[in-house]
Chain A
Amino acid sequence: MWNFLKKSKGFLGINERNIKYISPFNSKRAINIADSKILTKKILKKAGLPIAETYYILHNRKELKNFSWRNLPKSFVLKPNRGLGGEGIIVLYGKRKNQECWIKADKTPLTVNDLNNHILAILDGDFSIINIPDAAIFEERIKIHPIFKPYSHKGIPDIRIIVFNNIPVMAQLRLPTPESGGTANLHRGGIGVGIDMANGITTHAVHRDRLINTIPGSKLSFRGIKIPNWRELLQLAVEVQKATGLGFVGVDIAIDREKGPLILETNARPGLSIQIANIAPLGERLKRVIGLKTKNTPHAVRISRELFGGEIEEEIEEISGKKVIGIREKIKIFGPNEKQYETIAKIDTGAYRTSLCYSVAEKLNLNKIIKKKSVRSALGNEERDIVNLKFSLDNLLIDTEAFLARRENMKHDIIIGRKDIKKYLVDAAKNVRLK
């Protein structure tokens, strides 16, 4: 219990966030700007930072009345200026031919009349913070980057980076789910995935404040997604902080397929579940950068990556030119006639040759024995069959000769020996419990 309390100390709670970080570092004026998408975009644009293009802004009913719908492009996003938590945002993917009718993500059509009603609701302040009258924004629709496609449901994932004292301290990838209705907001059911600050690779995932491993209802793991343009994203986040004057800010950035990173919005009161997705205490990280002086943006990003990068594997890989694998790895075995078999192999540096189970060999028609060899084992001399074997390990194809053995009662169908892992380094602590 005492240990638990001690460990909890580094975690940032709402009380501490408000008293120690928001009220001293975020001025009223800066918060006001962050709460308005129009003002934020204006400031970011002036600073030369990339943002989604604004098509039109409607401030009042008169402007709505005189609005010519014909000018609207085929696809766009309609947003309230002061919307909270992704409420009131509509994404239109396409337009019916020769008709003033647009199509939503779930294929429901929206006519001019529907849009008109929605804009009236926005202008009336239905979605704004305290029901004050608001403006409606027509914006360019961001196109999803192919790397995120399998993980995201009808919407654009974004990357939230928390920046404090000009140094990025924590980041997470936010993915829309069927439940969250196309927005990536965590409290509406989006999934947050922690990101290693050093290399931009995802670590753990959180859904409704619970840690999860795979996409609900599938086997797709959230671990190991490499965020493209990682260093650029960190630099952008720092630049956004400098431009907006928010001392403690959550910067949301989306990655467009063609345009690259685009800043979506800034958040003066960033949420705290980012700590769950990263399994890391935010309070402790903030304390480490308080008062640190940085020379310029690249310097700040370098500090962030050094301070908050968890895994140094990539560096080792860069130095040695070899990939690091664990003691258990997912592999794919290729048979002759295009048959494939996926399994988990045990990496065994004590064996020279790879051994494959007869049962798998039969399944893949790998029964063409090219030679036999006698081996001396604990059980005495034994004659073993050798076949040609092709498999892929960590995206590299390995073409080798392997023993066949009776392994039906063993935990692994295949063990991989020294002969075939010369291109790798083995980390005995990695993937011990891989399933």
Chain B
Amino acid sequence: MHWQPPSVAPILTMIYFINYLLNNGVPQETIILILMLPIIATIIAFSRQIIGIKTFGIYTPLIITFVFLAIDIRYGIIVFITVLLAGSLVRIILKRFRFLYLPRMAILVIIVALIILLMFGEAAYSQRTEFIGTSIFPILIMIILVEKFISAQIEKGARTAILLTIETLIIAIICYIVVRLEFLRSFVLAKPGWVIAGSIVANILLGKWTGLRLFEFIRFKDVIKYVELPEKK
């Protein structure tokens, strides 16, 4: 029998806990996804602090990744874009009537719901069974996104909102690809403690990082060229 001393660092004992969960009927997919959370969160933090990709916070790209996992990514992106386009269009139409904020958002949500219903209709007509079988939660999440997107449009202007959305989408797709990596899936199950400890360490380092972001290098590149280095004495 394999015996490991229980005094080894707690990060190693995590594995027993995971096994305990598996043996008691918690689905493996659920555990993998939960253990992927620290990795996705770290990717999002990394792309903000080191690269400079701005997303709607950390929660939004994370949840979109999960939506993509729940419904096929192709449908996910199509639904995402349709819903956002519809939302923006409705906002532009509603703008001239000068409604108050919440009723305006309510009208928006109603119309988005209608459009999603129509999309289901289309899917039923052309027999897209994977899409028809989608549960309500990914769809609800899409509606949350519409609110975020539209309020960003109102507050920060269309340009910023569109950029934010595109960047959020890109990050979500990257995270989706990462989560689907086979070797990573078996790694998180085999070394759950390392995943969590590693993510925490990575984020502590990221949290103290004061260097220029990649996008800032690009933004300042012309100016940096003009600057003269102070002469050494």
Contacts and interface: CB of A to CB of B under 8 A. Distances in A.
A211 B212 contact: no
Bin the interface of chain B by size: 20 to 34
Nearest to B217: A8
Nearest to B222: A211
A131 B157 contact: no
A126 interface: yes
B153 to A, nearest CB: 11
B9 interface: no
A388 to B, nearest CB: 45
Interface string B204-217: 00001111110011
Contact of A20 (B100, B101, B210): B210
B226 A125 contact: no
A280 B226 CA distance: 9
Contacts of A118: 98
Contact of B220 (A11, A120, A125): A11
B229 A209 contact: no
B210 A117 contact: no
Interface in B147-201: 151, 154-157, 160
A280 B227 contact: yes
A16 B102 CA distance: 37
Nearest to A116: B98
Contact of A121 (B49, B100, B151, B211): B100
A4 B221 CA distance: 8
A4 B224 contact: yes
A6 interface: yes
Interface string A96-130: 00000000000000000000011011001111010
Contacts of A126: 101, 154
B61 to A, nearest CB: 18
B225 interface: yes
A126 B154 CA distance: 7
Given A15-B209, A15-B211, A16-B211, A209 B219 contact: yes
B223 A211 contact: yes
Contacts of A3: 229
A102 to B, nearest CB: 17
Given A19-B210, A127-B155, A8 B220 contact: yes
A290 B151 CA distance: 39
A188 B151 CA distance: 17
B210 A15 contact: yes
Interface string B89-125: 0000000001011100000000000000000000000
The 4 closest A-B pairs by CB, nearest first: A13-B212, A16-B210, A117-B98, A13-B216
Interface of A: 3-4, 6-8, 10-11, 13-16, 19-20, 84-85, 87, 117-118, 120-121, 124-127, 129, 131, 187-188, 209-211, 272-273, 275-276, 279-281
8 contacts: A4-B225, A8-B220, A10-B227, A11-B224, A14-B52, A127-B155, A129-B155, A131-B151
